[in-house]
Structure formats: C-alpha cells, structure tokens
Chains A and B, each alone.
Chain A
C-alpha cells in the first residue's frame, strides 16, 4: 500500500470533523423540533465513511443505511441540500419527501439511505450487476450494520454477489448495538467478518475509529473488485456515541463502556492528535479548519431555514400520477 499523502490525511480529518459538526447541529435542531421524525446520528463512526469514501471515485456507487448522513457527506454531498432535506424543505435532496433516512443523489452515486435495516443490501446486487455489465471497473460500496447482518437478505445478497463475482465491497459498521440488542447477544459468531468464509470471499476486520486503516483495507478491496476478482466483506469495529436516536438515553449500555469509547476511540480527538504529532497540521491549522466547517454547517442551516416548504397544491397534483 503506498504511503498516504499529507493531503489525503488532511482530507480524512476534514471529512470526520464535517460529519461530527453536522451531526451535532442536527441533534440541536432535533431537540428544538426543527428536525422531526427519526434522526440517527453517526457520531463516533465518522472515520468509516471518511476512510471508505476516500478509496472511491466519484463515479462509484454507495448504498447507505438509516444512519447515513456521514456516508453522504463523505461521498461529497452538499451540506445545504442535506440540511434542507432534514428540515423537509423543497430544496432538499429529496424535495422534502424523504427526510433523514432517504437521502440519495444520482450525480454523487449515492443510491440512497434506507429506513429498513438491511433493505439496501439486496440493492447492492443490482448495482453490482450494473457495474459489471458496464465493464468500466466501477464499484459499489454497501454499508450496513451489525443488526442487518442477522437479516436473511444479508445471506441472499452476499451469496449472489460471490456467485456472480460482483464488484461490491460490503462494509459492516459494527457499532455493537442494534437499537438495544447487543451484538454479542445476537450474533452467533464472534466476528461478522468471519461470515465471509461462507461465501468464499475475503473478510477483514478493521478499527473503525482509524480512517487510515479503514482507507487502506477499503482501497485493497476496491482494487480487487475493479480487477474483476469480486466482492469483499469488511467489518469496521465502531461505537455509536449516543443512543439509537437523540431521545434514546441508551441505558442498556454500561457507563464504563461508553466512557472507554468516548475517551479512547473518538476519531475526532485521536486523528487531530495524530496529525499534530506527525506535524501534518498545526493546532492553528486545525482551528482554521474547524472554523470553516462550523461556518459551512451554520450556512447550511441558514439555507435550509430560508428555503421554501414543498407546495401543497403541487403535491396534490403529483399524487394523481402515482
């Protein structure tokens, strides 16, 4: 694996911090009911999106989950249109029809977040066929969770992807909890990555708080897929810092466990520290970066708030043709 450049490292950090600040803002907006419905923050898991998407090209596809804001941001989504969608505005990615769980964009190759756990996994098979038939070495990354790996469609899709040698990289974000159900109580094997052997594909485990490790393992899986060698399964061990959603106090988790991940495995803290130690960035550089990101997030809120609501008469006209 070639050595990472400073620019790549700076980009990792920028993506991680952007996701963190964006998510913190969405939680604030949720608490004052400007965002409603369901919201599933990606806080704590940012390095996975940052590392995986950095290994992709713009033309590659991603398939996301209900906890999907980070994937969209890392794939290059416009914060304004994302925030507008979360506020249900007509300028949002889905014109206010989808909200948090359904952001998608053809231009970005973002084939949709998903409100159904595991719902996106079978869709990866089709995106994979599309990449393969096109013959242009495009690949698809399919994100899903520890919980989704227990759903039957996980088996159907990984088996089929392997049988047809599809260029799909399955990225399991194992944050150890499916709402309240812990992975160790619900998954028959110790590591989800070991399930890869059932499909005769490579399975790898990576520290999901380390963007460089995630990038490296994804890059090799992408290389393999592009060269026609088929799918891979990557299990990124991670942790959701908050509850399933902002109103979930997550009392089913031990305080010590939460503390451990928040202090030892925070990708924002750890990666900032690393880049300062490596002298890739100074504290001032990071401060500047933070300021720019905070401003971009604030601007996205302003954009969303000033954007028009979807028009009711247009809606009533549209439904006639559905």
Chain B
C-alpha cells in the first residue's frame, strides 16, 4: 500500500470532505497562501478560494465563534487553532458556548464544528507552544476529543469529525506531521469510540495515544527481546472512549501502564488509571502504572525539555515494575 505523510493525510481528508459537501469550510490563521503553520492546507486556497479557505486576523475567540455561528446556521466549519496553547484565548467560546449550545438549547441548535489544533513538546518552542492540554477538553461534557497517532487514523477520523453533528476537538501532534504511514487510495472513515490495538500482547496493556503510541511501540519492541509481550492499546478518541475494549485488554493481560505526554497532575492518564482500578480491580495482577510528563512548564533547553516528557525507557521501566521485574 502507498505511504503518505500525516499532514498529507489531513490534507486528503479535507479535500475529500470539501468536495463531498459544499457546506464544509476552513477558517484560521495563516491558512491561506501560507498553507497553515504545518502546511497541511497547502494549495487549498487555490483550489477552493477565499470563501471556503478563510484566512483570519489573530483573533482566536472570533475564529471559534465564527465556527459556532456558521455551524448553528447549517455549515460545517473546521476552525483552526494554530497551537493548542492558544485555546486559552478562546476558552469561553469552546467551553461555555460550543460545548454547551446543543444541550442547553434542548437540541434546538446543532453545532457540527471541528476545532483542529496541535500540541506536544519536542521542538524547542518552550512553555507556550508545547503543551499537551487534552485534559482541559476531556473534562468538559459536550466536547469530543480525538487524538490520532498515524496517517491512516488521522485521515479516517478527520472525515468522521467533519461529518459529526457535534463539537470535536481534533488534536494532532507537532512531531508527527512528517511521519509516513500506509493510507489506502480508496475512501474510508473511522468511527469514534473504537480503539485500535497497535500491537497485540499478553503480559501487559500499554494505553497510549498520539505521539506516545510510537514511543510505546518502541518500548514494546525492546520488551519483546526480554520475553515480555506488551499490548499497545491506542484509544484514538479519548471522548468517546472505547472503555469496553480497554477493559477487555486489561482483563486479558492483567496489567496496565497508562502513558501520556501531558503533565501527570489532573491528566487523562490519571483518569484512565482510576477508571480501570474502579472497574477492573479484580482482574489486575499489579497496581496500574502511570507514565506522564513532569508537572512543569515545558522548558526551552533541549535536555530539560526532553527530561520533562516520557520516553521509551520510562515506558520499559514502568512495564517491568508492573511485572515485578
């Protein structure tokens, strides 16, 4: 099968959906001639014109508000926040408006809005451009949270997000835009709430999403050499969460290591650990382990930056601890 870059898979999903439905449009900063900060929208302005590729002033709240207003009046906007860190400038629109509008108006207003953004550390862009803030949105009822790791997943999930009648936080990772992976030529979508076992295993379940899927797969490969069979469980969507598949995996392996790049305090990983401890305690052979970022603003210095987020070795160690080795 052909292999394409993660950002190219995004672009393909957008093109297919814009061709399929004329109500789909893009709005955000530097998405015109510039093609988006990570070039995922390269050439789209020429293809669809200024009415459907709306290049905005630096006005994050209005970019989200524009998405909401267009969505409740029949369009399917994809609002872009260049960095997830900038969501802080638009939190009222995301949390108090978008997330609640359908429910609090008794289903009177539907808001099919996709908020595309990216997060994560690793590029030396320091504390205001490197955060993993998915827990903010995971916490708020009314938002779906999607965090695709592979080109295949990002394409299929983005198409589903655009077709969904609700607000979707679509969170990419800045370190994987250039990664290549298999993506079929023919059209497909991936439903929300369906996890993907990225690697089968029997001794331990590693729950990981976004960029941490890769680090977990590397860890699993190393562990195999030591005779440890690790299953890498990628939920793909945090909301809705494929809880059934997770519990099934944990019941099979009896051990769970939850990995997140985000800082540990109040993280999605802590919540997943709690969920499994509450619902599958009797099947666990050892306490759930959490591998997470340090509770720090992400530092600029490369050594410090790398020290603030989890790596393969941290995952390997956590698995061994879980296995009592």
Contact = CB atoms under 8 A, between A and B. Distances in A.
A104 B59 contact: no
Given A119-B97, A156-B61, A164-B54, A126 B109 contact: no
A112 B66 contact: no
Contacts of B303: none
A223 interface: no
A25 interface: no
Interface in A79-137: 92-98, 102-106, 111-112, 114-116, 119, 121-131, 133
B18 interface: no
Contacts of A280: none
Given A95-B107, A130-B73, A153-B61, A116 B92 contact: yes
Interface stretch (B98-106, B282-290, B304-312): B98-106
Contacts of B75: 126, 129-130, 133
A10 interface: no
B68 A322 contact: no
A98 B75 CA distance: 24
B105 A93 contact: yes
Given A116-B96, A163-B57, A322-B142, A121 B108 contact: no
A61 interface: yes
B103 to A, nearest CB: 6
B108 A94 contact: yes
B122 interface: no
Contacts of B27: 129
Interface in B70-127: 70-75, 77, 92-93, 96-97, 101, 103-109
Nearest to B109: A104
B105 A98 contact: yes
Given A133-B51, A159-B59, A322-B103, A126 B92 contact: no
A106 B101 CA distance: 12
Interface residues of A, number: 43
B286 to A, nearest CB: 31
Given A97-B103, A126-B73, A133-B51, A116 B97 contact: yes
A152 interface: yes
A160 interface: yes
Contact of A126 (B65, B106, B108): B65
B56 A123 contact: no
A130 B69 contact: yes
Given A92-B106, A159-B59, A160-B59, A119 B92 contact: yes
Interface centre among A105, A130, A140 (most CB of B within 10 A): A130
A160 B64 CA distance: 12
A157 interface: yes
Contacts of A128: 69
Contacts of B66: 122, 125-126, 129, 160
A79 to B, nearest CB: 17
A115 B65 contact: no
A129 B65 contact: no
A102 B93 CA distance: 15
A121 B103 CA distance: 20
B25 interface: yes
Contacts of B266: none
B61 to A, nearest CB: 5
Contacts of A96: 106
A319 B75 CA distance: 26
A61 B109 contact: no
A130 B54 contact: no
B77 A112 contact: no
Nearest to B108: A104
Interface of B: 25, 27, 51, 54, 56-57, 59, 61-62, 64-75, 77, 92-93, 96-97, 101, 103-109, 141-142
Would you list the 5 A-B pairs with minimal beta carbon distance, nearest first? Answer: A122-B65, A126-B69, A95-B106, A94-B106, A156-B59
29 contacts: A97-B103, A97-B105, A98-B104, A111-B69, A111-B73, A112-B72, A122-B61, A122-B65, A122-B68, A123-B65, A123-B68, A126-B70, A126-B71, A126-B73, A127-B70, A130-B69, A130-B70, A130-B73, A131-B73, A133-B51, A133-B70, A133-B75, A140-B69, A153-B65, A156-B62, A160-B56, A160-B62, A322-B103, A322-B142
